[in-house]
Amino acid sequence: MATLDRIKVRLEISNTSKDGMLNELILTAEDRIMLRAGIAVMTDGTRTTLPADLASIAVEVVVKAYRRIEYEGIRSESADTLNTSFVDDILDEYSLEIEAYRKNSIEQVRFL
């Protein structure tokens, strides 16, 4: 299943009205994940494809980023008993997975 389709399932979006915004969030998430994983985002003028091993991270990051759109810039907000706060770095909780991918990639290159 394509990244966009997976995200729409999680967000329960069935139409195409949000596809433009979701595709932009996908590109941004993929770029940032690849940079953290040490993958060149652009090669020979063409965009690198996100490795399948990192695709689930992109899906989760986009869902979180989408849900934050109305709250951009808010670190903490309270209303009666409801409290909303966001982490500064959405990718931070995936650091272990991204680093494991990076190490595994380096080891595979050394082996070759």
User: What are 89-101's pLDDT values in tens digits?
Assistant: 889 999 999 999 9
* Listed residue (73, 61, 75, 70) closest to 24, CA to CA: 61
pTM of the model: 0.79
Which positions ≥6 away from 68 have C-beta within 8 Å?
86
Residue 110 binned pLDDT confidence (cut-offs 50, 70, 90):
low
**110/45: higher pLDDT:** 45
Spell out where 13-75 has E strands: 42-43, 46-47
* Listed residue (8, 110, 111) closest to 59, CA to CA: 8
Bridge partners of 47, per DSSP, are: 42
pLDDT of residue 78: 64
Range of the domain at 99: 3-111
Q: How many CB atoms lie within 10 A of CB 19?
A: 14
Residue 74 reports pLDDT greater than 90: no
Residue 69 binned pLDDT confidence (cut-offs 50, 70, 90):
confident
What is the count of structural domains for the chain? 1
Bridge partners of 82, per DSSP, are: 79
